[in-house]
Amino acid sequence: MAKNGIAIDIPGLGARHIQSVLSDYTGTLSRGGRLDDGVRELLCQLAETVEIHVLTADTFGMADAELDGIPLRVRRLEGDRLDAQKRDYGIQIGLGHCAVLGNGNNDRLLLKAAKEEGGIAIAVDNGEGCATDALLNSNLFIIGAANALRLLLEPRGCKATLRF
């Protein structure tokens, strides 16, 4: 089934048509390895409109159980240079039509690439902090995974924040 995506026309930045959401898991969607209240429901709601991809090294070993039953794709990362692995995955799915969520140093290259390719790069602090390099390579910063997902579900807030 084709999904409609999210259309956002941002004065001074231009039109964006988001077809995919690509998110880090640990510290972005979860805190201490567990999804925050409401995040499961918001991910399910968002999945009706866009494809969702979650990239994780699964620091706490709970991602599979926490994301079980949510219509999304999980990609487990291993080895070195997780930052490059995340960026390369994003390039494969097309960052120009992607909203990217991340909080760590290993998200900085992905966030930067999304911003440069015309996607939307969102730095998220879900209670475990946000690396300065992630913040500096994003279009906007938001506190809480639920708030970030709500922003994508109601994109006028994104328009209001990013307009020139």
φ and ψ of 17, to 5 deg: -125, 105
Does the residue 24 lie in any domain?
no
Number of domains in the chain: 1
pLDDT interval class at 164 (50, 70, 90):
confident
Does the residue 91 lie in any domain?
yes
Does the residue 47 lie in any domain?
yes
Does the residue 139 lie in any domain?
yes
* Runs of H (alpha helix) within the chain: 39-46, 63-67, 82-93, 108-117, 132-136, 145-153, 156-162
Q: So what's the pLDDT on residue 108?
A: 97
Mean predicted confidence (pLDDT) in 95-122: 97
Among candidate residues 23, 52, 50, 55, the one with its CA nearest the CA of residue 148: 23
Does the residue 134 lie in any domain?
yes
Which letter, b or e, does each residue of 102-117 get, where b requires 16 or more Cβ atoms within 10 Å of its Cβ? bbbebbbbbbbbbbeb
pLDDT interval class at 11 (50, 70, 90):
confident
74: DSSP letter: E
Domain limits for position 95: 29-158
Does the residue 4 lie in any domain?
no
What's the whole-model pTM score? 0.94
Give the domain CATH number at 89: 3.40.50.1000
